[in-house]
């Protein structure tokens, strides 16, 4: 969770929801923007920023 909290706009609550939804940090990292936005509190802007940080 601490790794996710380093992303723009991701705090402890959003990090926890991402892990719960995807099951692992690796699954969060490989998920497309279209899947990330399905998590409560993750909008298009945050999902886009996450994908940019991860190099897409």
If one counts the domains in the chain, the total is 1
pLDDT at 54: 87
pLDDT at 1: 82
Per-residue pLDDT 10s for the chain (56 aa) are 899 999 989 999 999 999 999 999 999 999 999 999 999 999 999 999 999 998 86
Q: Which residues contact 35 (CB under 8 A, 6 or more apart)?
A: 22
Structural domain that includes position 37: 2-53
pLDDT at 17: 97
**CATH code, domain carrying 14:** 1.10.150.20
Question: How many residues would you count in the chain?
Answer: 56
- pTM, rounded to two decimals: 0.91
Of 40, 18, 45, 39, residue with least CA distance to 29? 18
Question: 10 Å Cβ neighbour count for 49?
Answer: 15
């Amino acid at each position: 969770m601490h790794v996710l909290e380093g992303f723009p706009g991701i705090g402890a609550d959003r990090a926890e929801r991402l892990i719960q939804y995807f099951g692992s940090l690796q699954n969060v990292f490989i998920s497309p923007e279209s899947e990330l936005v399905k998590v409560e509190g993750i909008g298009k802007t945050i999902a886009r920023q996450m994908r940019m940080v991860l190099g897409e």
